[in-house]
Amino acid sequence: MAETKGNLMTYRPDIKLFDATIRDGGLVNDFRFSDEFIRRLYLANVRAGVEYMEFGYKASKELFSTEEFGKWKFCDEEDIRAIVGENDTDLKLAVMADVGRCDYKKDILPKEESVIDMIRIATYTHQMPAALEMINHCHELGYETTVNIMAVSASRDEDVETALQLVCESPVDVIYLVDSYGSLFPEQVRELTAKYCEYAEAAGKKVGVHMHNNQQLAFANTIEGIAHGASYADATMSGMGRGAGNCCMEQMLSFLKNPNYNLTPALRFVEKYIAEEREKGSVWGYDLPYMMTGALNRHPRAAIAFIKEKRSDYDRLYQDLLYEIS
Amino acid sequence: MAETKGNLMTYRPDIKLFDATIRDGGLVNDFRFSDEFIRRLYLANVRAGVEYMEFGYKASKELFSTEEFGKWKFCDEEDIRAIVGENDTDLKLAVMADVGRCDYKKDILPKEESVIDMIRIATYTHQMPAALEMINHCHELGYETTVNIMAVSASRDEDVETALQLVCESPVDVIYLVDSYGSLFPEQVRELTAKYCEYAEAAGKKVGVHMHNNQQLAFANTIEGIAHGASYADATMSGMGRGAGNCCMEQMLSFLKNPNYNLTPALRFVEKYIAEEREKGSVWGYDLPYMMTGALNRHPRAAIAFIKEKRSDYDRLYQDLLYEIS
């Protein structure tokens, strides 16, 4: 049997739940959430005992139009403060900044001027030098930082190892294993988490996991990841997120035995606000096309288009994916 | 790391896919499938390379009304033959017989008079003597047999061990680990499968897994079960089955690397016949109420009723389940 940290009856104080509903869910609705949704989500996270909440992206307004996307694509300081005030709670606030899509020197304020606690830096392995510069910059501004190394299932092992070495020499606090395509199987998650933890522990850092549900493995992979050493677990309300979506926050609050957690605020949020979001036409969650892109280790864009077009010729999509013409 | 049998790139010839769509799916629609659905499912399984297909239950007509349930609750020989003729294919046919709900001495014909290959005997641990009698009877009639020990997540370890000892002394061919409530986590599946395999291998028998999707773990638990020694994997088309449903056949055909398998017939079946079944009003699949009964290790009946009544007061259900009054 695999060695696991902790067990099913107790809890590990090092484990932190990280709500990514706005950021990953914003990829479904172009970040067009009502203020009421965001305010209620914030309160639900506070009451549920969730440790971190991500408000969205710090995207460049040079690259992305504020007409095309809602305000959580950009996360201006005043927009966050309109929801949280001074955030006089135990919930820490985060935003994500993508390497190459963010004017971080201009848009990220010094920590003492911001209500944000953590900057998450999302990068591909081929962007490591730029990612390291952002990590250093945000660290110097006074923030907690994570580095979210994306699409590792499609990266060479050697590149992932080099990336891990490099980030371990940086001041980053948390290194995320990100299954962007929802293509990892639990046995791969166990191996990769163990590898990430080996690097991270030697450097005094923590490991996080961010899983997608293309193969209905987001929850399984998240709990396997934490059982094998990860401390930060990303989840979203009802799994709201791009394509097949993410690990469900309700499942994590139900699974983890930390007495600080409370499932009720999440259930009530889902009953009203997630239901309204679905009624607005936002669609996410496991479906056959996502299974295919996940199993074939591809970006989900062909599956997202297939579902948007309300197609059901699954076999045609599969053949197209196999022969790369989709 | 856990020791696993096989790996993600090769295939194990001992693994058999078992389609349980009619039997577990029949619990959703009272076994009221069209003949066209059944015929197309049979052809899809033959073409996909699936090894076994379960037609339904051999239920007692004394206990269950033929007006209330469709014919696959009873699986009369002539009804199966009307679909498969002499079944001149490589697909083996199975039916399930529940201990205490079946007139097996009357209703199960000698093998030479039947097109059925395998009888699956479903039992709770407290029914073992009756189950053993059925196993012996069916074996003497000439059938392959499995014993499906239900609800082990709610059984005492000692009773499960005793049940395993007893079935290992019987002529049964396959011993099934059944997660009736969808409450097992992957680490428990690994441990239980290893235990089942220890007993089974010493007695020259095989182990099977039948998983439910209450916590979105049916696929994860199925692949963890086979990676840790099980040879028979139950699945249903699009996961059709009671409550949260089962492991999806499409996912298993995609995951397993046996060159005999072919995903296309399953995709085409889903596109037309599963879609029609859903249009008829059959509802199954992961939903919050099933997560709760799974996480609380309960029979899904309260969740099924909640969804049938189109309720959405999730927190009320959760509180009721916690305090046992639902």
pLDDT in tens, A7-61: 999 999 999 999 999 999 999 999 999 999 999 999 999 999 999 999 999 999 9
A273: left (phi over 0), alpha (psi -120 to 50) or beta: alpha
Q: Kindly give the residue spans of alpha helices, DSSP state H, lying in A142-273.
A: 157-168, 186-202, 218-227, 249-255, 264-269
Q: Average pLDDT of A78-95?
A: 98
Residue B190's closest chain A neighbor by CA?
Answer: A1
pLDDT of residue A325: 57
Q: Average pLDDT of A195-218?
A: 98
H helix or E strand, kind and range, residue A232 = strand A232-235
Q: Is A212 helix (H, G, I), strand (E, B) or coil?
A: strand
Cβ separation of B312 and A275 shorter than 8 Å? yes
Q: Which of B267, B273, B311, B312 to mutate to test the interface with A (most CBs of A within 10 A)?
A: B267
pLDDT at A307 > cutoff 90: yes
Average pLDDT, chain A: 97
Cβ separation of B291 and A251 shorter than 8 Å? yes
Distance from CA of B3 to the nearest CA of A (A): 7
pLDDT of residue B1: 44
Buried-exposed string A222-231: b where 16+ CB fall within 10 A, e elsewhere: bbbbbbbbbb
Residue B114 to residue B96: CA distance in whole angstroms: 15
A269: left (phi over 0), alpha (psi -120 to 50) or beta: alpha
pLDDT at A2 > cutoff 60: no
Residues of chain B with C-beta less than 8 angstroms from the C-beta of A268: 314-315
Q: Average pLDDT of A72-92?
A: 98
B window 274-293, beta carbon within 8 A of A: 275, 286, 288, 291-292
A250, A268, A286: residue with CB nearest B291: A250
Residues of chain B with C-beta less than 8 angstroms from the C-beta of A321: none
Q: What does the pLDDT look like over A156-167, one tens digit per residue?
A: 999 999 999 999
pLDDT at A261 > cutoff 80: yes
pLDDT of residue A1: 44
pLDDT of residue A160: 97
For A59, the token pair is: 């995207």
Whether A17 contacts A52, CB under 8 Å: yes
B140: left (phi over 0), alpha (psi -120 to 50) or beta: alpha
pLDDT of residue A4: 83
pLDDT of residue B325: 57
Domains in chain A: ranges and CATH = 16-279 (3.20.20.70), 288-322 (no CATH)
Count of CA atoms in the C-beta half-sphere (13 A) of A216: 31
B213, B292, B314: residue with CB nearest A271: B314
A31 contact partners, CB below 8 Å, separation of at least 6: A22, A56, A57, A69, A70, A71, A72, A73
pTM over cut 0.90? yes
Residue B257 to residue B72: CA distance in whole angstroms: 32
B219, B270, B318: residue with CB nearest A314: B270
Q: Which residues of chain B have pLDDT under 70?
A: 1-2, 325-326
Buried-exposed string A153-162: b where 16+ CB fall within 10 A, e elsewhere: bebeeeebee
State the complex-level ipTM.
0.96
Backbone angles phi, psi at B239, to 5 degrees: 75, 15
Residues of chain A with C-beta less than 8 angstroms from the C-beta of B274: none
- Please state, for a pLDDT cut of 70, what percent of chain A lies above it: 99
pLDDT of residue A37: 98
